[in-house]
Amino acid sequence: MWPFKGQPKADYSNVKFNDLNAPFPLFEAPVSNASNFHGKGQCSICGESAEVCFEFGIGSALIQSCPKCQTETGLDASDKEDQICKKCGATIYFPPIAEEKVLCCYACLRAGRAAITKDTEIGMISWEQAFEGMTHGRPGLKHSDFELVPTDSDWIRARLPQAVMFELLRTPTYDTIQGDQWQFCCKQPMVFLGEWNREDFHRNAPDGQGHAYFQKIVQGIVPGLWEDNLHDVTGIYVFRCSHCNRMTAHWDLA
Ligand SMILES: [Zn+2]
Ligand SMILES: [Zn+2]
Ligand SMILES: [Zn+2]
């Protein structure tokens, strides 16, 4: 059955971040599609109560300045360990957070006090890659929109403006079965619109022809995907380019 549904977030069905006064330029999907969405909570970073908080764990980091040289470092929110500053060697302490769960409010995320790792079609981006200005890369990566940087292995990295990378890190990750794969168009990250089912394709098709629209925008379609008879749970993740309005989607299955 598609669409795949992540953790139930009953109170927030059909609510978007815009509705909560917490807009994300790259995420227009319902909040129920955001994998680390927590809702109302007390932020572990600034201590304030906030309407929109995210639960931080694997793949997310708190960004802290070195007490000696002010160089910024990401501290992994799941292992909560101190780090050694790469520039000067001083210890950067993980902040004392009493709660089991590390929560990050919208304001702290947008202010760059935290970062959520993204996987993308041109390679993974975590805070380390953003500071370097290059994705982690992919084996044999090809893409005409970006300067490609070879490594010692067959992995090829892509150079991106740091502002673009930080914007992605300040955006929620979307729920998937196999992992996110942020799409790019016109040299920019596309806008995530949500996980669509057949009704969504019908409703959004310019001429109401959902099946034709599905065939036009979904990558790597296999027989049975539209009919939803693959004998697996599947998910279809839809993006729009904010420059040229091109639509695309990738899909996965359990
Ligand atoms: Zn906060
Ligand atoms: Zn330092
Ligand atoms: Zn485009």
- What mean pLDDT do residues 135-159 have? 95
First-to-final CA distance of the chain: 11
Q: Which ligand is nearest to the CA of 71?
A: 2
Phi (first) and psi of residue 215, to 5 degrees? -65, -30
- What mean pLDDT do residues 56-71 have? 93
Q: Which ligand is nearest to the CA of 67?
A: 2
Confidence (pLDDT) at 4: 55
| Mean pLDDT computed over every residue of the chain | 93
Q: Which ligand is nearest to the CA of 107?
A: 1
What confidence category does residue 1 fall into, taking pLDDT thresholds of 50, 70 and 90?
A: very low
> HSE on the CB side for 32, CA within 13 Å?
15
If you measure from the C-alpha of residue 73 to the centroid of ligand 2, how many angstroms do you get, rounded to a whole number?
9
3-state helix, strand, coil in the chain (%, to 5): 15, 30, 50
Ranges 6-20, 44-58, 85-99, 158-172: which has the least confidence? 6-20
Give the CA radius of gyration of the chain: 19
If you measure from the C-alpha of residue 64 to the centroid of ligand 1, how many angstroms do you get, rounded to a whole number?
13
- Name residues whose C-beta falls within 8 Å of residue 51's C-beta, 6 or more positions apart in sequence: 20, 21, 22, 39, 40, 106
pTM for this one? 0.92
Residue type, 70: Q
pLDDT in tens, 124-143: 999 999 999 999 999 999 99
Q: Which ligand is nearest to the CA of 56?
A: 1
What confidence category does residue 147 fall into, taking pLDDT thresholds of 50, 70 and 90?
A: very high
**Percent share of the chain, pLDDT over 70:** 96
Say if residue 10's pLDDT is above 60: no
Q: Between the CA of residue 52 and those of 79, 100, 187, 203, what are the distances in Å?
A: 23, 18, 30, 28
- What mean pLDDT do residues 36-54 have? 94
Give me the count of residues in the chain. 254
Say if residue 8's pLDDT is above 80: no
pLDDT in tens, 227-240: 998 888 999 999 99
> In the chain, how long is the greatest CA-to-CA distance?
61
- What mean pLDDT do residues 52-66 have? 93
Using a CB cutoff of 5 Å, list residues around ligand 3, an ion: 185-186, 241, 243-244, 246
- What mean pLDDT do residues 142-168 have? 96
Separation between Cα atoms, residue 57 and residue 120, nearest integer Å = 19
Using a CB cutoff of 5 Å, list residues around ligand 1, an ion: 43, 45-46, 105, 108
Say if residue 56's pLDDT is above 60: yes
